[in-house]
């Protein structure tokens, strides 16, 4: 009996949390948000960064994620530049915020995968801070997640990463 009660309480908390977050966060599996989703066309972009290796991405964690995706805006002038090209994946919404990757290909070979959008943004902070959630343990922890640097034990952002990567590779082939 005791266990049943505990489980129910936990479930109720989870439901409350989901309802509270719903206005701010796409729920369920629909992964695509943001400007990148609107084009629907291929988003192969020229190498705007101009870096030689391109194996890293520099960006402040404070970069507002709500701004238009640079890759998406660049895609208007998309042109595969012969041997080396960069292809952006979908922006995938994870529990911790949006994740978007960009692959660099030399021919069909992947030479780099860069994370061009990452959680821990100010926007995410604001969403959580303004949502006036009831004080529950889980929600206190969820709110803290906006200020975490890394997650141990599960890689849900990595899941978003993989999904974004897959969409980029699908585009590269298409």
Which spans of this chain sit near another protein (rule: CB under 8 A)?
3, 6-7, 10, 14, 17, 51, 53, 55-61, 94-96, 101, 113-115, 118, 137-138, 140-142, 144-145, 147-156, 158, 161-162, 165
Q: Quick one: 76 or 148, whose CB is closer to another protein?
A: 148
What is the SS3 assignment for 37?
helix
Look up residue 157 and give its two tokens. 């952002």
State in angstroms the smallest separation of the CB of 79 from another protein: 25
Pair 151, 94: CB distance under 8 Å: no
Q: Quick one: 17 or 37, whose CB is closer to another protein?
A: 17
Q: Quick one: 6 or 76, whose CB is closer to another protein?
A: 6
**Residues 122, 128, 129, CA angle at the centre, nearest 5°?**
85
State in angstroms the smallest separation of the CB of 22 from another protein: 13
- Residues counted in the chain: 174
Look up residue 166 and give its two tokens. 């897959």
């Amino acid at each position: 009996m005791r266990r049943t009660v505990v489980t129910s309480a936990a479930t109720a908390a989870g439901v409350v949390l989901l309802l509270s977050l719903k206005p701010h966060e796409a729920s369920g599996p629909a992964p695509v948000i943001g400007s990148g989703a609107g084009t629907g066309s291929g988003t192969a972009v020229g190498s705007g960064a101009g870096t030689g290796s391109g194996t890293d991405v520099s960006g402040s964690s404070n970069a507002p994620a709500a701004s238009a995706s640079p890759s998406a805006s660049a895609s208007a002038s998309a042109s595969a530049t012969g041997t080396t090209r960069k292809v952006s994946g979908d922006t995938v919404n994870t529990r911790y915020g949006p994740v978007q990757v960009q692959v660099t290909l030399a021919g069909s070979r992947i030479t780099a995968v860069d994370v061009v959008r990452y959680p821990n943004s100010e926007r995410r902070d604001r969403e959580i801070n303004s949502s006036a959630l009831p004080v529950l343990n889980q929600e206190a922890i969820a709110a803290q997640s906006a200020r975490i640097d890394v997650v141990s034990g599960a890689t849900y952002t990595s899941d978003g990463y993989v999904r974004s990567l897959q969409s980029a590779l699908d585009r590269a082939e298409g």
